[in-house]
Amino acid sequence: MSATPTTTDLLRRFTPLDSLRRENLAALAKKVEVHSLDPGRVLIREGEVDKRAYYLVSGTLELVDRQGGSRLLRATSREAASPIAPVLPRRCQVRAVDRVEYLSVDTDLLDVMLTWDQTGSYEVGELRSDSSGDDWMTTLLANKTFHRLPPANLQAIFMRMQQVNCAAGDVIIRQGDEGDYFYAITRGRCVVTRETPLSRDGIKLAELGVGDTFGEEALISEARRNATVTMLTDGALMRLGKQDFARLLNDPMIDWAGYDEARGIVARGGQWLDVRLPSEFEAYHEPGAVNVPLYFIRLKLGTLDPRTPYVVCCDTGRRSSAAAFILNERGFTTRVLKGGLNAVANGVTT
């Protein structure tokens, strides 16, 4: 299977991609590739629930339903302008009859783009960052943080964000400082480090690139910055002030759960995720909980299963809210224990 870049002209062949504004369609073209599939290979399996929209570019596909009935879909047909087998779970198996080419589009991203196009009162081009040829708004829309927000919040966020141009070596946030802004990278790369008693130079926690965000932990938990973020290259950031972040971005992102509800989620296959320090965790924790301290959450993302619903907990709910925000923007499903473990200790279970 190979992949080649796509073009806006190609995307305009398909619906609802053809309804996107020019700027958003151009940005989407940078994130979508043309894939190929050999004869006999399966593109879609019955019962799959992946959030992707597939479009046939060339060749012929066979769609076989659960009763054994089949039909052919040719790229030259009018039907091929629409997504292939779009209903979830997928109701048929789709395989290549001959060598085919197809597109695969993230449906969450597409839905956010369509919503922004159809509800925003400002042209995307009017708000474009002058420092970059890319549409920074569409770059941020690709971040899963924004997929859960009401359209009115999206527009308000973009209008309140401020552009900051940076040089390599610039310290954007410093460990121990008060939190004031939430940041999104629109150009360049950053490194996240944390100073410890054994390492004054700091332990490297993560590298961040275009579309990544940072700075939310201190804003949500109302604590001081727990890490330093430094520009690795020249670049540009968009920042959102603390009050706007809380009202427009954080509050809609967090889903709370009382203790009884949280236990039910875990009983049905979920997982307790305790983001306190190891010393706090060792003192007491929920049975079966895993411990990933908040300041290590980005570093340990690879150890977590995105298919598992996580009930995130700490002592009060502040640190767990910050951790849930980070997980949500990367596509995890989370609930935050309301009131934290302190509330459970005091007999509050709802």
* Listed range (115-129, 150-164, 296-310) with the worst mean pLDDT: 115-129
CB 327 within 8 A of CB 213: no
The CATH architecture that domain 3-106 belongs to is: Sandwich (2.60)
What was the pLDDT predicted at 131? 40
Q: Does the reported pTM lie above 0.85?
A: no
What architecture (CATH level 2) is domain 254-345?
3-Layer(aba) Sandwich (3.40)
| Burial track 307-318 (b if 16+ CB lie within 10 A, e otherwise) | eebbbbbbbebb
Q: Answer whether residue 295 shows pLDDT above 70.
A: yes
Place of tokens 């040089």: 167
Q: Which residue has the higher pLDDT, 152 or 37?
A: 37
Q: Calculate mean pLDDT across residues 22-31.
A: 83
Segments of the chain assigned to CATH 3.40.250.10: 254-345
Average per-residue pLDDT for the chain: 85
Judge contact between 189 and 143, C-beta under 8 A.
Answer: no
Q: β-strand 190-196 against 92-96: which pairing, if any?
A: unpaired
Q: Which of 80, 90, 91, 30 is nearest to 58 (CA)?
A: 80
Highest mean pLDDT among 61-75, 129-143, 206-220: 61-75
Mean pLDDT of 250-258: 82
- What percentage of the chain has pLDDT greater than the value 70? 87
Dihedral Cα 143, 149, 152, 156, nearest 10 deg: -50
In terms of average pLDDT, the best of 19-23, 141-145, 203-207, 268-272 is: 268-272
Rounded mean pLDDT, 11-27: 86
Range 117-136 average pLDDT = 44
CATH code 2.60.120.10 for 120-250: yes
**What whole-number distance in Å separates Cα of residue 273 and Cα of residue 232?**
31
Pick from 142, 111, 112, 116: nearest CA to 127: 116
pLDDT exceeds cutoff 50 at 3: yes
Summarize pLDDT for 181-234 with one digit per residue, the tens. 999 898 999 999 988 777 667 788 889 988 888 988 888 877 788 889 999 999
76 residue type, one letter: T
Residue pointed to by tokens 């085919």: 100
Max Cα-Cα span within the chain:
67
- The pLDDT of residue 1: 53
Instruction: Give backbone dihedrals phi and psi of 112, rounded to 5 degrees, phi first.
Output: -65, -45
Q: What is the pLDDT of residue 133?
A: 42
How many Cα atoms are found within 13 Å in the side-chain-facing hemisphere of 20?
A: 24
* Distances 73 to 11, 22, 80, 194, 245 between C-alpha atoms, Å: 18, 29, 7, 54, 47
SS3 157: helix
- Which residue shows structure tokens 């990544």? 212
The C-alpha atoms of residue 314 and residue 130 are separated, in whole angstroms, by: 42
Position 143, amino acid: N
Confidence (pLDDT) at 283: 84
pLDDT of residue 233: 96
Q: Are 81 and 120 in contact (CB under 8 A)?
A: no
| CA–CA distance, 46 with 90 (Å, rounded to integer) | 5
Tell me which of 92, 166, 190, 314 is the catalytic residue: 314
Distance CA(246)–CA(219), nearest Å, equals 8
Q: What is the pLDDT of residue 160?
A: 86
Highest mean pLDDT among 63-77, 101-115, 215-229, 288-302: 63-77
64 closest CA partner among 81, 47, 88, 82: 47
Q: Where in the chain is the domain with CATH 2.60.120.10?
A: 3-106, 120-250
Catalytic: 190?
A: no
* pLDDT tens column, 27-46: 888 889 999 999 999 999 99
